[in-house]
Amino acid sequence: MTIRTAGHGQAAATAPQTLLLVLSGNMLLDALEVSSIFVALPSITGQFALSPQAAYWLQGGFAIGFGSVALCGGRLGTALGRRRVYLAALGLFALASAAAAAAPTAALVVAARALKGGCVALTAPTGLAIISELFPDGPPRHRALRVYAACGAAGLALGAVLSGALTEVSWRYALAFPVPVALALGWLAARTIPADSPSAGQSLWRSVSSLLVILAGMSFLVAAIGGPGSRRLSVLLGIGLLGLVCCGLERASIGTVARLLSISGYWRSVCGAALLNGSFWGLLLALSMTTQARGHWPPAATAMLVLLAGAVTFVLTLRAPIQQARFGTERLIATGWVLTVIGYATGLLPPA
């Protein structure tokens, strides 16, 4: 099976495996971005003398950017063309990475990371959609999705190692290394992702309107880092604008989410994912701040904590089908929750 794509004005045949590698490479880049900030966080916080509450936004801004743009990202890809949106998001991701590395203030670092979160909200779902169309349902698609997920776990580990080594020199290098990776992936994606026909119309204007309001809302939230005097008003304005997107411009998207959440199994899956991801990233943030700021660990030593988590996830993801066949999905989920509780409980023990 091959796909005809346009590259430099000429059609080219792309094997599904080649396209899968490009899309998985972008997933790896996204995980690199997530893990690298945890290792560099204490250095950035010390550089700008941030409080713990303000330091949170260095990671939280990325999550807000992702969650906000995800509301209109799918429709934007349909209206403008998935290939066009994917390539534009990768280019903007590289530009935002360079801006974050050169930012003179913490607010600009947060703004750049929020922008990068929005870019990931455009590329990650598009990659999954292309994989779903490219590989037939069944074992071929399951294998492709495992490779896609495993690259995310590998990026989590690799990002920690690279960030630990680069932060030893300067945290700005840790924020800058995604630039060449994003540019290289953009070049490969332009040569492999199949062209599609956009269906511009009313959905385009609604998507653009939502995106503009989202950017305005995030700008107010970023401005809240500027000082105590403007913090409360900026937060209220930012939340108000993002609420306008949810309740006004994106009522259809919110309605779809509400219908999905009404399904009991889906609701449990969403809650479980939110609890696991939220607590895990919070744990990494707390460990990074504690080990470096209070324990005086070098960044490279802190990176080993993230590397360990990423390596375990990578190995277990590749072996997931074997584990499911042997033990059953329900037992694996229950075991995972028990191990999670035990792992977090050890954090309450006296430090060694």
Residue 90 confidence (pLDDT) = 92
d(CA 310, CA 33): 13
Mean pLDDT of 318-324: 80
Q: Please tell me the least confidently modeled range out of 247-261, 272-286, 293-307.
A: 247-261
Mean pLDDT of 172-193: 89
Mean pLDDT over 224-233 rounds to 58
The answer, yes or no, to whether residue 1 has pLDDT greater than 50, is no
Assess contact for 331 and 339: CB atoms under 8 A.
Answer: no
What is the chain's mean pLDDT, rounded? 78
Backbone angles phi, psi at 11, to 5 degrees: -75, 145
pLDDT score, position 179: 92
Is pLDDT of 6 > 60? no
90-115 per-position pLDDT tens digit? 999 999 999 999 999 888 888 888 88
Domains of the chain (ranges, CATH numbers): 14-308 (1.20.1250.20)
Write the pLDDT tens digit of every residue in 44-73. 888 888 877 777 788 888 888 887 787 777
Is it the case that residue 213 has pLDDT exceeding 60?
Answer: yes
Among 181, 157, 138, 150, CA closest to 29: 181
The pLDDT of residue 101 is 92
* Residues ≥6 apart with Cβ < 8 Å to 58: 37, 41, 44, 45, 50, 106, 109, 110, 113
Least confident of 47-56, 114-123, 185-194, 254-263: 254-263
Q: Return d(Cα 63, Cα 68) in angstroms, integer.
A: 8
Element (H, E) at 194: none
CB atoms closer than 10 angstroms to residue 42: 22
Position 289 confidence tier, pLDDT thresholds 50, 70, 90: confident
Whether residue 12 has pLDDT greater than 80: no
H/E stretch holding 14: strand 10-14
> Which pLDDT does position 7 carry in this prediction?
42
Structure-model confidence comparison of residues 351 and 115, the more confident one:
115
> Which residue has tokens 């006296």?
350
Query: CB–CB of 283/347 below 8 Å?
Result: yes
- pLDDT score of 190 more than 70: yes
3-state secondary structure of 253: helix
Question: How high is the pLDDT of residue 121?
Answer: 85
80, pLDDT greater than 50: yes
* Total Cβ atoms within 10 A of residue 313: 19
Can you give the pLDDT at residue 319?
Answer: 79
Structure pTM? 0.78
Residue that has been written with the tokens 């010390």 in this structure:
46
Distance of alpha carbon 22 from alpha carbon 338, whole angstroms = 36
pLDDT digits (tens, 9 = 90+) for 123-163: 887 777 788 877 888 788 888 888 888 887 777 778 888 88
Q: Quote the crossing angle between the two packed helices 52-80 and 82-102, to the nearest 10°.
A: 160
Q: Identify the pLDDT of residue 5.
A: 42
Query: For residue 302, how many C-alpha atoms fall within 13 Å in the half-sphere facing its CB?
Result: 32
108 phi/psi in degrees, rounded to 5: -70, -35
- Say what the pLDDT of residue 11 is: 34
pLDDT at 181 over 70: yes
Binned at pLDDT 50, 70 and 90, residue 237 comes out as low
Residue 244 has pLDDT above 80, yes or no: no
Q: Residue 315 pLDDT more than 70?
A: yes
Q: Residue 194: pLDDT above 50?
A: yes
Paired with 6 in beta bridges are: 11
